[in-house]
Amino acid sequence: MANQGEILEQTSDLLWRPTLGQIRFSDVYSEKAGENEELWWRKTDFDADITDYAKAAGFSNIWQVPIGLRPEYTGYGLVFADDLAQSYNERVLGLISREQAARASGRELHRDALKRLQESSGAILALANNAPRNEANVADDKNGADFHLAITASGLEIYATPLDYLGDLEDRNRITALYQIPTKGHPEFNGDYEQFRSGPVVLTREHPYHIIPVFEYPNVQDLIDAKRNGSHPQVIPTDKREGRFAYWDKYGNGRMSLKNISLLHKLEEGDSATLQITNRGKPYELEVVKAKNLHSAPLGKLAIYLNCSDHLDEGSTAGLVEFIARVDDEPSTSVQTAIFKVLDLIPDLDTATAELKLAA
């Protein structure tokens, strides 16, 4: 078993930080699968809810996002959480600059800003939990699959099972360190019998001697170099599709996760492209228009654009693409938003398994 001396010093420093807030994706949270389940996306807008709160009040909160009915949202959710962590770091740097400027001019920083600055050393944690006790995960008397701790370049700590949930971050070269968290002998829960390990597993950060390094890099460039020279351990499964629907909001507009978004960079605003969708083995095509943002998208047409809040990643072409249809009525009741336009063409659309490709 690992001891603290065997993990990177910077990981030890990160785990020593006090917890500031948590974003928890788990199948243990209650969900309703009742009437009008075909409109399940009407009830989900966690990225808007969390972004609104985090940018207004900071991260001093615990957000619970149920994923039992939509586990495919989790990969996007972790990228979203890491984007927020990166944005938070950038805001902290801005606060430091403001404080220095205020001192130099003999002024004081606003008390709200001072409070955020004082909290800036805190850690943001993410949980991704879906731990069935099926045959594969109880073989050899295992109490479910082990959790893993992933550390991103932004300092986000992710406690995840299964490893698949980390695939989007792995595609984007964001995970600089990965550690196994053995269930057996865990200092915070009974590894042989405890059913709900997901609650206390984040307390592993208080016991760094219990984690076992899988891979560790001091920075993103070392990670990229290891991937290029073939020395990086390929332990995190990644989605083999060229693209997929990553998320639908309550208005029926979505986000696509693509392995390669270079075509979108080449398109000019107003240019058309083809969205190729393979659903249940059948190919379909939709025309989409490149927009600059939501309000510049043409009314009534399917549009795509890059969200200014998304972070681009060094050494990776993977990214998220907004997929929307701007309407001239209330979007929460409109049947003209993006998901309905797709369903007009593909009534039996399976958003979890469909494969996407953007072509000129």
pLDDT at 53: 85
Reply yes or no on whether the pLDDT at 3 is more than 50: no
- Comparing 83-97, 232-246, 251-265, the range with the smallest average pLDDT is 83-97
Reply yes or no on whether the pLDDT at 134 is more than 60: no
> pTM of the prediction?
0.91
pLDDT at 273: 96
Reply yes or no on whether the pLDDT at 197 is more than 70: yes
Tens digits of per-residue pLDDT, 55-104? Answer: 887 777 899 999 988 899 999 999 999 999 998 888 888 888 888 888 88
Reply yes or no on whether the pLDDT at 145 is more than 90: no
Which residues are CB-contacts of 56 (< 8 A; sequence separation ≥ 6)?
A: none
Compute the distance between CA of residue 284 and CA of residue 249 in angstroms, rounded to an integer.
23
- Comparing 14-18, 217-221, 309-313, the range with the smallest average pLDDT is 309-313
* Domains of the chain and CATH, by start: 4-229 (no CATH), 243-359 (2.40.30.90)
134 CB burial (10 A radius; 0-12, 13-18, 19+): exposed
Can you tell me the mean pLDDT for 284-297?
93
Q: HSE of 163 in the Cβ direction (CA atoms, 13 Å)?
A: 16
CA geometry: angle at 166 spanning 19 and 190, to 5°?
60
